[in-house]
Amino acid sequence: MSISRRNFVIAGSVAAAGGSLVLSACSSGGGGGGAQGGSAASATYSKVTVGTAKDSTGPAPQVPGARKGGTIHALGPDDFSHLDPQRIYFAWNSTVANLYVRCLTGYRIAPNGSMKLVGDLATDTGTMTDGGRTWTFTLKDGLKWEDGSELTVEDVRHGIERGFASFTTEGATYVQTWLTGSTDFRSLYKGPYGGKHLDSVVTDTAKKTITFHLKTARPDLDWALAMHSYGAVPVAHDSKEKYDKDPVSCGPYRIKQHSVDKSMTLVRNTHWDPATDPIRTAYPDSVVFEFGPEALQATDRLIADSGTDQYAVMAYSGVPAERIQKVIGTPDLQNRTVNGLLTGLYYYAINCRRIKDVKVRQALNHAWPLEQIRSIYGGPSAGDYATTILSPDIAGRVKFDVYGKLRNPRGDTAKAKSLLKAAGKLGQKIVYTYPQGGNDAYDKTKVVIVNALKEAGFDPVVKPVESTSYYDQVGQIDNTFDVMWYGWSPDWPAAYTLIQPLFDGATIADNAPNVSQLNVGWVNSAIKKDAGVTDTVKQEAAWAALDKEIMAKEAPIIPETYQRRYYLYGTKVGGAQFDPLFSAFLVYKLYAKS
């Protein structure tokens, strides 16, 4: 689940210990809850397995000690930017989408954080033929919308085809590209509203099957289809742009009330059949989201633990630096946390269009003061130093340290200066930017960054951008920044979803993920070649090798941290568990204690 995210832009974000912004994409690690005293689970994203048809049947495994009834309260600083599944590509939106959107596949998450890909609407994770070019899924019996009408394969196809519409540009685009063979897929198909269906998606109402005919082999389609961007939408109730305000549920909850920027209440969907759902348990009668409380305010309310806050969780921003030591240092509070490393990577994108000399980009990597930055975020509790593109829990990832950051995380300004001198670039001007507003951590890190760059022989210029427009500005091809704070999380547990979006020359466009604007022939060819490898072990090894090669030869980014986030919850909340996908609570596993 954007920085990306949008779901998989880590956009608008912040460190677990850093402030009020939040990583937007899928996340990693796994977290313990209640009885586990806030410990993080040892299971990782890289251990995800593919389940069987039996694993895909409901009901979902029950949470020990859980009870039905009551209300869970969720505190978040901001409202959801989108509720239409085809416009969801941001982890915060996915956190609530888990309650009312269902896809062909999904993840069943065990108490230790380990995950299994299973059939959600489908009876299993699909049947692949033709070397990965053809996939067929069969729908389960008993699937219904909140009005009691049957959920059909036509509704599933409708959700896929809506991703081509002109008003759903915020969602993921993997499947659209694979179905048409073009990144310019909207020029080939405009969506379902003209009465025309995609020839590459075939449904059989009698057999309840939907078949995808891809232009290129994609053995990972079953993973991509777990993204909420490909959730089902009822043909009969599609209100197009208006659907974003009033989506129809096929999950355990439906939206009853939504006061924009204030609150949202979800209540039980009486037509949801748990026998069809291997993922969600849905114990509370209702879930109420309160929008507005920033990280510090939410933390202090949960520390006080009074009134309805006893039934509340920090739904979005984690415990900030100002309170992290108090929370993890006080047993009663630490026992009311969940935590986990995020699956993605925070980094500084180097604008390769502007900084063309690789030696200069390498010098920036050597000079960057990771230790000083992490100290401002909150120290080791904020996460681990990053040296690779692939995060630690991506299958096949190999640890390396091209720029010696683990040996000397304070930075090697002498090495950086020697590289600049050799390149004839002493005094190189570097325009650095970061999101400003709501999080003073970045205002503090700019100081140590500027000092390190000056010591290394650079001429740093700092131009912060207001946080609400930050990603729009750094996402422009013609932006005037040299180094940009950024982040990204994988869309499913594969190296492809980290490397291809960020470094494929084909992903350079305004507001596209390749913010570094790296466009190098050998990298583009390697990405295409590695993506076509069908042997899992060989493919993982190829991505790991490419990770190191990109960092050593091109240095398009400066890895910063694999961040850890802590969330606090009230004493009357049970079933608390860190969501390894979206860096939040698994809301559908929570229950209200009596």
Mean pLDDT, the chain, whole residue set: 90
Which own/partner pairs from 461-466 qualify as long-range (CB within 8 Å, at least 24 positions apart)?
461/429, 461/430, 461/431, 461/432, 462/431, 462/432, 462/433, 463/431, 463/432, 463/433, 464/433, 464/434, 464/435, 464/436, 465/433, 465/434, 465/435, 465/436, 466/435, 466/436, 466/437
pTM for the predicted model, two decimal places: 0.85
> What is the mean predicted confidence (pLDDT) over 51-79?
96
> What is the mean predicted confidence (pLDDT) over 69-85?
95
CA nearest neighbour of 498 among 355, 377, 362, 395: 395
Paired tokens of 76: 């978040």
CATH for 345-565?
3.10.105.10
Under 8 Å between Cβ of 247 and 32: no
pLDDT digits (tens, 9 = 90+) for 379-429: 888 889 999 999 887 888 999 999 999 999 999 999 999 999 999 999 999
Model confidence band, residue 24 (pLDDT cutoffs 50, 70, 90): very low
C-beta atoms surrounding 538 within 10 Å: 12
Note the pLDDT of residue 12. Answer: 30
Residue 372 has pLDDT above 80, yes or no: yes
Q: What is the DSSP string of 132-200?
A: GTEEEEEBPTT-B-TTSPBP-HHHHHHHHHHTTSTT-TTS--HHHHHHHT-S-GGGT---GGGS---TT
Residue 30 has pLDDT above 50, yes or no: no
Note the pLDDT of residue 441. Answer: 85
Note the pLDDT of residue 479. Answer: 97
State how far the alpha carbon of 552 is from the alpha carbons of 370, 389, 402, 544, 588, in Å.
18, 11, 6, 13, 43
Under 8 Å between Cβ of 423 and 364: no
Q: What angle do CA 574, 577, 581 make, to 5 degrees?
A: 150
Residue 35 has pLDDT above 80, yes or no: no
Note the pLDDT of residue 10. Answer: 35
Backbone phi, then psi, for 348, in 5-degree steps? -115, 115
Note the pLDDT of residue 535. Answer: 84
Paired tokens of 154: 């036509």
Choose between 382 and 52: higher pLDDT: 52
Residue 64 has pLDDT above 60, yes or no: yes
Q: What is the DSSP string of 394-436?
A: STT-----TT-TTT-TT--HHHHHHHHHHHT-TT-EEEEE-EE
pLDDT digits (tens, 9 = 90+) for 146-190: 999 999 999 999 999 999 999 998 898 999 999 999 989 999 999
Distance CA 303, CA 158 (A): 45
Paired tokens of 417: 């200066």
Out of 19-23, 220-224, 585-589, least confident range: 19-23
> What is the mean predicted confidence (pLDDT) over 355-360?
98
> What is the mean predicted confidence (pLDDT) over 342-364?
95
Choose between 306 and 396: higher pLDDT: 306
Note the pLDDT of residue 516. Answer: 98
Distance CA 443, CA 32 (A): 33
568 membership: H or E segment, kind and range: strand 557-568
